[in-house]
Structure formats: C-alpha cells, structure tokens
Chain A
C-alpha cells in the first residue's frame, strides 16, 4: 500500500468490478430488456468468480511472496488432479503418478519459491519427463507406452510448469523508479492476471458481436478469428493504457505483451477444448458438482504466463 500506482490499480479494479456487479444485478432484476437470460447468468457467475479470485489474491499478496507461491502451487496441484482424472491412465502408471503428484509438483514449487531459475526451468521438462518414462517402463506395462507417458508429461508441463511462471514473476529484480519494493512485483503479476482475464472476456465479446469464421468448428464452437483479433487488439490497448502499472514496460512494450498474452490465452483455451472434446466432457470440473473446474479457469493463464515472464526478462535485460 506504499505506492500510489498500486492504490490506483486496486481502486480501478474494485470500481470496475462494483460497476459490473451492479449492472449484472440490474439486468437480472429486469429480464424484459431483450437480453439472453443465460448470458446474464454466465456474466454474473463469471463476476462472482472474479470477486473470489480477487479476494484470494489480495490475501495471498498481503501475506507475501511465499504465500503467493504456495497458493499457485495448490492451484497447480488441483488442476493437475483434474487433468489426470479426465485422462485415462493404466495401472502401470500408478507409481509414476504418485511421485508426480507428491514429489515433482511440490519440489518444483519449492524451487520457484527459492528463485532457483537455473534448476526449475529444467526440472520438470527434463528430469520429471525422464523419470516418468523410466518409471512407467519399469512398471512393466508397454501398451501405448508413448501415449501414456505423453499424457502425464503434458499435464505436468501445462498445469504445473507453465503456471509456475506467474508466481516466478515475484522474484524478478526490476530496475525502475521503485526499486526494492515488493509492490512492483505483485503489480506485475496482477497486471498479467488482469490481461489474461480481459483477453478471455474480449474474445467472448468480439466473437458474439462480429464472429463469423470459426477457427476450428470441431474443437470449439465459439472461438472465432474475429474474436481472436479483437481480443488481441483490445488487450494490447488496455495494456498500453495501463503501462504505468507494470513497472519495467514502456507503453509499446506493454502493448506488445498484451497482444502476445491474448494470443497465448487463446491458444490455451483451444488446447484445453481439444482435450475436453476428445474426452467428451464440457468442463474439467464435471466431477465437482455445480461449477466448472479449476483448469477451465486457468487454461489461458497457463499458456500466457511463461511468455510474459520471458518478455519481462528481455525488457529488464537480465
């Protein structure tokens, strides 16, 4: 709370959420406006999700870096749970999965928490992959060997490895007018989350308004080229307008980051849709009654976090 920019960002988001909530409640009370009631319900549900997300993030930020890393670790763990639950595995994968859940995932986040970029950047993609291959081979079931190991590896990379780049932002040493303040890093992380959520929204809005050409009708029935382009452009604009909130960026760099984040978010959504279509489910959380899964919420984040991290690295020139 030391920084005027942090306060401005928080106040802005709170104001936006409050206004949106008021509009959502107003539309719900007056169903005679000719709007699709299902869309209003979705909107209100989404808003509730954001309130919860903001509250959880605020508490984690307030508690500090370690708490935030732990929070992301728990989210990763849960997302991986959903991923593997919907991926058919065989009994021969059991022991490998045990170590993936209880050793590799926590250890990776410990390395992130200790800021050992040199180790955590290769730990899962190299060592966990090798371990999974070898462990499944030793278990003695060779049926569809590559397919099974690839599934586990994909789950680990998307749900754990990629997502962990978001809290890893907290450890970057950012040169700038407010050096030494942790606020800067939290603001950067929040900037990323904001862009990803905004891109998701804009994708939906533009698709509904102008969407004609579906990118891949068999995979997703609501992701269009127009939506992608619109979302990338508006996210770039928002990022440029909010450049002051993200310390190392010039406005044009922020815009570029926003553009890339939107495209990666789109890629994440498409990827997860493809997996869901293959498994014949709508949400990852169908096993959890009444709400979509964690993975449905973070798919775009998983894809956008690494590239945002590396853009930031480039910009601060480390």
Chain B
C-alpha cells in the first residue's frame, strides 16, 4: 500500500529529446563509419566453427592497423555490435575533440591509460568492471601494432582476464591484409581486399600455466590464417 506521502515508484529516467537526438547522430555516425571502413577495406567476413552471438565474449585479434578495431566492430551484426566495446589506448584516443567523440560516443570504447597503470587499478580490473555481465570486448593482446605483419607475443592481460572470469568466451580473430590497407604511420588508405576470420571460442583450462595459455591463444589466431 502506498501512502500519499510516499514517493511514487521511480521510473527509469527518460532520456531527454536532445540526448535522444545526440544518440541517433552517434548511431548514424557509427553505421556510416562501419560501412565506409568495410567498403574501403573490401573485407570479407568468415565465421570458422563459430557463430555471431550476443553472449558475453572477448574478441582477441592480431593488431596490424588503426582500422583493426573499427573493422572487427563493423564485421559484427548490428545486435552484437551494440554490445561490443573496443579497448583502446587513452593517450591516443582522448587527444582532440573528434577522436574523443568517436571513442566515447560512437564506438563506446573502453579507454585504457597506458602511462598510468597501478597495481590496485589494473586495466583488467577496469575492463571487467566496465563490461559487467552483458558487454563484450575487443582486445589486441599484442599491445601495439606490429610493424612487420608478423604476430608478436601476447601480453599477459588476456590470461588475467580469463583467470578472473573463466566463463567468458574468448574468441580468436584473425585480420588479414589490413596492414597493407593502412600501414603503421600512414594516413591515406589503399583499398585492397582484406579478410576477417572469427574462430571457435577457447577458455582457460584448469591449472593451465600463463605462458602455455598465451601461446595457445596466439596459435588460435595464427590458425585462422590458413
């Protein structure tokens, strides 16, 4: 029974018209950027022994180009895309208005401060707190873009992610040829054809050592190269 003095049960706050307009703009920007990136990189998308799904996942990929995160994000179906957040470097993506707007509003990126990593506030904790129990992540375990096109050793973040949330699906993604579309240090793209392959999910085995797991994860990405 509600007495007159009681406040009404609170409804979820309605977004204002202005913020609705803004989010529509962000959506449109996201859609058109995704379309542009796919057109420019002529990317074909392959799902090898896996399916697009809205369940909580961590997509981990080789890192070759600035376009990587955008293109993985663009390759996902709309429903999955809305739940997926790329992880990106704060020092790069918070510089300047456009980059910050793209990162924060359009891609809903999770920005990690590479220069200020503390023990009690590790990036992995931050990621896990931010994604909750619904959102998925796109990560690049190599840490930075490879210069040669070879896939480098994986950093340990992926292992700690898997250790703290062992039930998360870890999905290997291989990006082929995108380093030629937009190599490191270039800003003009060459419209070659690239290919994004999603592989079957893997999990951290019970008692698996860190280096073994990281090597296995790296092999899973390499295996998608054919």
Contact = CB atoms under 8 A, between A and B. Distances in A.
B190 interface: yes
A98 B190 contact: yes
Interface in B142-199: 176-177, 180, 183, 186, 188-195
A101 interface: yes
A91 B46 CA distance: 27
Given A288-B44, A289-B44, A81 B192 contact: yes
B193 A82 contact: yes
Nearest to A293: B193
A98 B183 CA distance: 12
Interface in A223-242: none
Contacts of B191: 77, 81, 101
Q: Counting chain A CB atoms within 10 Å of each CB, which of B177, B192, B194 scores highest?
A: B192
A95 interface: yes
Interface in A89-120: 89, 91, 94-95, 97-98, 101
B201 interface: no
Interface string B14-52: 000000000000000000000000000010101000000
A94 B194 CA distance: 15
Contacts of B195: 287
Given A91-B183, A287-B195, A101 B44 contact: no
Given A91-B183, A94-B183, A287-B177, A84 B44 contact: no
A287 B193 contact: yes
Interface residues of A, number: 15
A42 interface: no
Nearest to B43: A287
Contact of A101 (B46, B177, B190, B193): B190
A77 B39 CA distance: 13
Contacts of B194: 287
B44 A85 contact: no
Interface residues of B, number: 16
Contacts of B177: 85, 287
Contacts of A91: 183, 186
Contacts of B44: 287-289
Contact of B180 (A89, A95, A101): A89
Contacts of A98: 188-190
Contacts of B188: 94-95, 98
B46 to A, nearest CB: 6
B184 to A, nearest CB: 8
Contacts of B176: 287
Contacts of B193: 81-82, 85, 287-288
A91 B185 CA distance: 10
A273 B112 CA distance: 49
Q: Counting chain A CB atoms within 10 Å of each CB, which of B46, B176, B180 scores highest?
A: B180
A94 B46 contact: no
Contacts of A288: 42, 44, 193
A84 B189 CA distance: 14
Contacts of A289: 44, 46
Nearest to B176: A287
Interface in A273-316: 287-289
A61 B139 CA distance: 49
Interface string A49-83: 00000000000000000000000000001000110
Interface string B37-72: 000001010100000000000000000000000000
Interface string B203-222: 00000000000000000000
7 contacts: A81-B42, A81-B193, A85-B177, A98-B189, A288-B44, A289-B44, A289-B46
5 closest Cβ pairs, A-B complex: A85-B193, A97-B190, A287-B193, A85-B192, A98-B188
Given A84-B190, A288-B193, 17 more contacts: A81-B192, A85-B177, A85-B180, A85-B192, A91-B183, A94-B180, A94-B186, A94-B190, A95-B188, A97-B190, A98-B188, A98-B190, A101-B190, A287-B44, A287-B177, A287-B193, A289-B44
